[in-house]
Structure 1
Amino acid sequence: MTTLEENLSDTSVVSAPRQRRGKALMTALAVGAVIVLIGSGGAYIASASRSAVNAGAAGADVAPARPPQTIEQLWPGAAHEIPRALPDGRKLRPRLFLDDSTLLITVESRSEEAAALYAYHLEKGQATKLADVPTPKDTVLYADGFATGNDRIIWWTARRVNGKEIADIWSVPVNGGKPAVVTSAELPPRSRTGLINNLTVTPDGIAWSAGTTGVYRAPLTGGQAQKIDGTEGKHILTWPWIGTPGPRARDAAPFQSLLNVETGERHDLSGIQNTQVLACGITRCVTRDPQAGTATVLDRGGREQRKLTLPPAGPQVLLRDRFLTADGPGWTALYDTATGAGAELKLGTERGRYLPGADGRLLTFPRDDTFLVIDLTAIT
């Protein structure tokens, strides 16, 4: 399984799982609303259509404020530009950061099928092969959901067996080697809630959420997956925090209610009422006044931290408890709610974006013949 960018409205593009045969499995929300989707690997971001931006601005009689600086000017250490193909012409796809100067990329063989893993060295612009990506017989969903931790890289694929879809979760050493299956589990029926979301490496194994069926874990060394009691309907935000609504919530900001599955601590919206919640992270949320064209950053108890001026945006996850994106007329910007700063991304004509994984670190946007790769951990 891979993720695929595909036009959904005049400008909205998101990633979604793709089958070996047939069309991409896509879930789009209403045209004119911001689209919030999770890729098979657990990713969250929003992309507004041009009609939504214009309608919102006109309705509030407030022109969206375009940030005065680009991301390269404001946060130069966070922005990297890489080609969309290797020198031999094979298409590549950024997946995650292996360290501060190295990306994990997949090289595609056909139909966006991940064929191999490479370490891409940002300073040298060179790629080193780590492993081939197995594609078992009867595979229906290609490799996706990449994550790293404990010196391993993990991902999942799915195959059809006796009418059921079975997910295989794979692992390979971070320095390369031969991939092996860690565990296998039956997938829930396909729906807008997704299949496997936010596959992640935990201190004692791996974990993921599966549709609305709950949160599961298994040892990284191999073994049967076990469902965590009391997690029905909950999704992983970033381990060990899980909650509701899930990242595909249609009309509400995801993760307004959170539970730490290791400590039992809860984070709910105890002091935020009668307002439009735009985004939530672990400790803070962002609300929006659509008439004033402003947003407010608050902690989960309702205490105001700062005001932001944002173009219209829809429900999304507050990445790393700080960052969100919004689209103005002809431009896209990244905002840091911890400081109030915003930076324009200077994208090309293609308005789509690949979505970050469970660590919420990597953002990837197409810039015509290149990718803009953003490391959110480099923004201090």
Structure 2
Amino acid sequence: MTTRILPAVGDADAVRSITTLLGQLPDVEPLAPVVDSTQLVDTLARLAAESVGELPEVVVVHERIGPVPALELIREVSVRFPAVGVILVTADAGPGLFSAAMDSGARGLVALPLSYDELASRVQAVAQWSAGVRRHLGHGGDVFTGAGGTVVTVSGAKGGVGATVTAVQLALAAQASGHSTALVDLDLQTGDIASYLDVQFRRSVVDLATITDITPRVLADAVFQHDTGVSLLLAPAEGERGEEVTDRAARHLVTALRSRYEVVVIDCGAQLGGAGATAVEMADRALLVTTPDVVAVRGAKRVVRMWDRLQIRKAEETTVVVNRHTRGTEIQPPLVQKITGTGIAATAIPAAYKELQAAVDAGRLHELDHKGTVKQALWALAGELGLVRAPEGHRAGGRLRGDRAPGGFRRRREGGG
């Protein structure tokens, strides 16, 4: 059987040496090399969309691949494409890196300078492992190989601007449209999506904080399946436990969710922590909810500047949603866009709290009146974001300013971490 190998190497000299040596291996078909992490994930996603059988058996990742660090890239590939075996090529073949590479999901490590015998032995072992996984998949194994879903984060310019209501309704709209949808509460200290949806469930996002290999089955044990069909991953009942969800844990979590659901909506609240910052950085679309008043808009401006300073997200990659909008208010969406320097959602959410009050007080936000202006606006926003399946030719508004194509890595700015 021929083993297909996809090299992921950013250095031109290393590309030549690796591809030359791979070409000498017996029963091996080297594929055209990819030069960075974005191209690797996009290539694998395109092949996986056709079938598992189209994926290469082996991916060889050079230690100097970028912009995403090699170990993070390996973890992403191993979670999203578990039928692919990854080999790390590195000058540091010590036990520390070997252990870290295995923890990230690599199936082997080969030291530089490359040795024909070592590379051949490792490729053969990983190819056999990959073939075994594919046989398992052929018998209905619980492994997901999708190209990756769309991740949307919803943050508040300050507390009380309506970020949670927005996140809940976006998730409900996506699920009602036929997308498999997860709603995640990363407002770790004060988040209360459970109360909005009348849910009592002991498991929370904290239960996944120390798990580095979040398999579909592990994830399924931690989520609550709501009556609407939305999968809920809740904030901890004890707010102090939110500190257990580190930025590293959040990265593993978002990666696992993206690989399992078509749409992932994350409520990040109004307080920036490491987990929320990671989610915003990884998101395909980052929404910032504000109300049309001076205090909230100033808060939105501060958040946007902070995200930029911390290299979490650029202003032009952020979309502001104006909530509780009225025609008579002095601050209108174009002014908010000018002040914040962000994109602005074409759909503004009207000020009609009386429509929400009964549902919020009863914890039945999923039972909002379909004819209400607030629900109609929020579901229109979901359509604008591409989270619902609109009739052909009727997609609202196209792509927003600041949108990124779903399922890929964003290139970090020069000098970024």
Flag whether TM exceeds 0.5 (same fold). Answer: no
Please state which band the TM-score falls in when normalised by the shorter chain.
under 0.3
Tell me the TM-score normalized by structure 1: 0.27
Between Structure 1 and Structure 2, which shows a larger proportion of helix residues? 2
Q: Which has the higher contact order (CA 8 A, sep 6+)?
A: 1
Tell me the TM-score normalized by structure 2: 0.26
